[in-house]
Amino acid sequence: MQYPAPIAKLINSFTKLPGIGSKTAARLAFYVLDMPERDVLEFAQNLINVKRELTYCSVCGNITDSDPCPICQDPGRSHKEILVVEDARDVMSMERMQEYNGLYHVLHGVLSPMEGTGPDDLNIASLIKRLEDPTIEEVIIATNATAEGEATAMYLARLIKPAGIKVTRLAHGLAVGSDIEYADEMTLYRAIEGRREL
């Protein structure tokens, strides 16, 4: 037996989301069917608002509902360092920590020749333009510890270092509470490389 067209279309829409298979999509669709209409309308409006009201900050590339974003507009933030991340979710993660008080730059991805993503596909040109500001002393590269993230970090370092700006990389290594015996070689290598004095 096939689902009626409206629910089949909703199931199909849910399967377009990452990590949602057909069974989970069906469960979500039937959950929506049982929701009060006002909640469904509010949910639909929130989806529309995300697409219509959010944009990318013209300075750093972060998602925002005002341009420039509140972080770039904040006079209390340090303008000496820029932390470069892969996407806007990384900015949110860093902000939750409440320890970093500098600026950000969102690349919107990483270099990936396999997927056809080159330097022109990333938000790199605007980063280089921002580095013309003489107050910037350090660029902290915080791409993920993947092959693509490492390649992107190396590419950015080669671009930035000739300008005389300090380029650093987030330390990688053992997670708190993990056992050395279960760590892979790359994690152990990063842990040794990123060691610090006690």
| pLDDT per residue as tens digits for the range 49-92 | 999 999 999 999 999 999 999 999 999 999 999 999 999 999 99
The CATH fold assigned to 5-53 is: Helicase, Ruva Protein; domain 3 (1.10.8)
* Choices 3.40.1360.10, 3.40.50.300, 3.30.590.10, 3.40.1390.10: CATH for 76-179+185-191: 3.40.1360.10
Q: What is the band of 6 on the pLDDT scale with cuts at 50, 70, 90?
A: very high
pLDDT one-digit tens code per residue, 83-116:
999 999 999 999 998 889 999 999 999 999 899 9
Q: Is 27 exposed, middle or buried (0-12, 13-18, 19+ CB in 10 A)?
A: middle
What pLDDT was estimated at residue 172?
A: 75
pLDDT at 177: 72
- Nearest Cα neighbor of 86 from 156, 11, 135, 16 is 156
CA separation for the pair 147, 111 (Å, rounded): 9
pLDDT for 176 beyond 80: no
Residues carrying CATH 3.40.1360.10, the chain:
76-179+185-191
